[in-house]
Structure 1
């Protein structure tokens, strides 16, 4: 008799698909708003070379499009995790590691940038706390998908 597959895997697949919808919507709207408003024309090119925040703003549209592609891949992975596909598990794990690194990279850059401003040092800790808030569920997802007890159900 075949072992029953846990429903938690299907639930995680659904949550990943919902999360991907958030990524797709927010970055799609961000790219549209950025293009319509045209903020990139107001950036000073001298500052973009030295300050990480200005660098991020000068490449905002490209980052939105990259995150849009990651969101689409996340959606596909979430759908196929519900079908217990091993490649989807690996893809979601890899994308989750990438998102984890993006979160920490952005927040560290913001923390450094904010910390350089007079009287704003305390706010740099907020960026680090924000990193913990957003990266903890991602780390738990990676851990869950790669547990032996869970991974054995994927084919």
Structure 2
């Protein structure tokens, strides 16, 4: 008799797919708004010699949104196939979660450094670090859950 798979796997797959939908929608709308309003044109025309500054991030905003859009699509596919207990989807979502944690921390550190250089804005540096913790904690829990021995044995 085949062992029944935990319902939590299907629930996590659904949550990953919903999270992916938010990533796709928010980054598609951000890129579309940025392009329609032409915000990035003046930033692209400026010389951004400091690669760690916030202006450097804004000058590549559309590229960042499109990269996140691709990550969101990959998360969506992973979430759908996690529900079907596919091992490759488990591994893909785990790797993408690590990548997303690195992206989040990289962006928040860049924002923190940029904000910290402005007078009177030092307190907001902590907000960027808190935001990184807020978004990376669920991703870390997702990685932990998907790779628990008790859960991973259900993936084929």
Deviation sequence 1:43-62 (CA, Å, 0-9, x none):
2623x221521111110111
Q: How far apart in 1 are the matches of 2:93 and 2:58?
A: 27
CA RMSD of aligned residues (A): 0.9
Q: CA deviation at 1:125?
A: 0.7
Q: Which sections of structure 1, spanning at least 5 residues, go unmatched?
A: none
Moved over 2 A (4+): none
The 5 Å alignment of 1:3-152 reads: 3-43=3-43, 45-46=46-47, 48-50=48-50, 51-152=52-153
Q: Tell me the residue number matched to 1:2.
A: 2
Q: Which sections of structure 2, spanning at least 5 residues, go unmatched?
A: none
How many correspondences in the alignment?
Answer: 154
Q: TM-score under structure 2 normalisation?
A: 0.96
SS for the counterpart of 2:41 is: helix
Q: How far apart in 1 are the matches of 2:40 and 2:120?
A: 27
Deviation sequence 1:92-125 (CA, Å, 0-9, x none):
0000000000110000110111001111111101
SS for the counterpart of 2:155 is: coil
Q: TM-score under structure 1 normalisation?
A: 0.96
Q: How far apart in 2 are the matches of 1:74 and 1:114?
A: 31
